[in-house]
Structures are given as structure tokens and as C-alpha cells.
Amino acid sequence: MDERRAPGRTDRRRFLAFAGGAALLLTAAGAAAPWPGAEPDPAPDRWRVRTDPAPLNSRFEHALGRLSDPHWLGYDIDASSSDRFLPGPDSRIRLVGIARMRPGAAAGILERSGHAFAPVDLPDPPGPLRVHVPAGARWRTGPGFDAAANRPGPSVVPSGTHRLDAALDLVWFDVLLLHT
């Protein structure tokens, strides 16, 4: 067999290899690109500040009343940044943030609850929430109130603290929800 190849045969192979590689790259790029009009991935970023009150009201309304104007984070503390925000068995979800209470609600809780509230400083808030904490807030907390507010639900055991400011009608919450 002759070792020499016809000149057209080598050019044809180069062309086919180049065209095949380009087609493969275009296919991969098309698969990775979002479909036009498709919604972005709904999994929230761990440090994205949320402002939707519905999840907070479903968790805290029994103890704090209706909340509004929230700024909060909610994430699985054991998950890596690539994991989705879907609680599973034995996941620990942290809810931390600040929200406005109905006018007079904080003062009413502090006066009528029967819990021994005491002045307390706010711990260092997570970075994205710092801008939402007003300077000069006078926080009060009570372990008895925290125990009452952290009412367990089906497959959820909460623990954490709630700090109230009566003058500004604010609540600061830092709660860990253990999903069992």
C-alpha cells in the first residue's frame, strides 16, 4: 500500500474535523444557554436579601402578629452554595432578619406578655442585612418569650431569639429551624 495520500483527502479530513468540532461547540452552547422566555433558576442565593413577608408571617404570626417591610435571609446552614433551598430531613434552615410589626404590637408584647424582657445589644448582623438595621434601636429580649415564640410544628423544631424595639415597632429574629 502506498504511504502517500491524495492531497484532497487530507484537506477533506481537516474540514470534517473542524466542522464536527464547531457543530459540537454550538450544540453545547445551545444546551447551556437559557431557553428564550424561560424563568431563571428559582433557587435563592444564600446571601440574597428577601423581602417577601408570607414565609415569615406563616412562621411568626402566632407570636408577633402580621409583619411587613421585612429584610431577611433564609438558607440551609449545612448546604454548600451550589445546593438548592429545599429542606430535607435533618436540614437546619436559618431565618435571620428584621421586620416591621403593627403599630404598638412590640410595646404590647413587652408590657403584657409576662416574660422578663431585658435590654440587649443586637449581635453583628450578616453583611447584607446591616444596612437595614436602624441606628439607635433599643432592643429587648426575653428567654421566656423566645420559648413561647419558637413553637414546634409538624416536622420542624425551632430555636433562636427575637429582639423587639417598641419605639420603632421592629422585630429582629435569628431562628434555626430543624427539619426532622
Does residue 44 fall inside a structural domain? Answer: no
Q: Residue 95: what pLDDT?
A: 94
Task: Give domain status of residue 49, yes or no.
Answer: no
Q: Which long-range CB contacts under 8 A does 28-35 form with residues at least 24 apart?
A: none
Judge whether residue 25 has pLDDT over 70: no
Q: Is 159 inside a domain boundary?
A: yes
For residue 180, what are the contacts with CB-CB under 8 A and spacing of at least 6?
Answer: 89, 90, 155, 156, 157
159 and 87 fall within a common domain: yes
Between 154 and 176, the more confident residue is 176
Number of domains present in the structure of the chain: 2
In a shared domain, residues 29 and 62: no
- Same domain for 121 and 61, yes or no, is yes
pLDDT score of 47: 82
Regarding whether 59 and 24 lie in a shared domain, the answer is: no
Q: Sorting pLDDT into bands at 50, 70 and 90, what band is 87?
A: low
Which residues span the domain enclosing 4?
1-33
Does residue 46 form part of some domain? no
Please indicate, yes or no, whether residues 29 and 69 belong to a single structural domain of this protein.
no
Q: Is residue 108 part of a domain?
A: yes
With respect to residue 59, please indicate whether it lies within any of the assigned structural domains.
yes
Based on the fold, state whether residues 71 and 152 are members of the same structural domain. Answer: yes
Tell me: do 60 and 146 sit in the same domain: yes
The answer on 131 and 82 residing in a single domain is yes
Residue 168: name the closest of 71, 111, 102, 114 by CA: 102
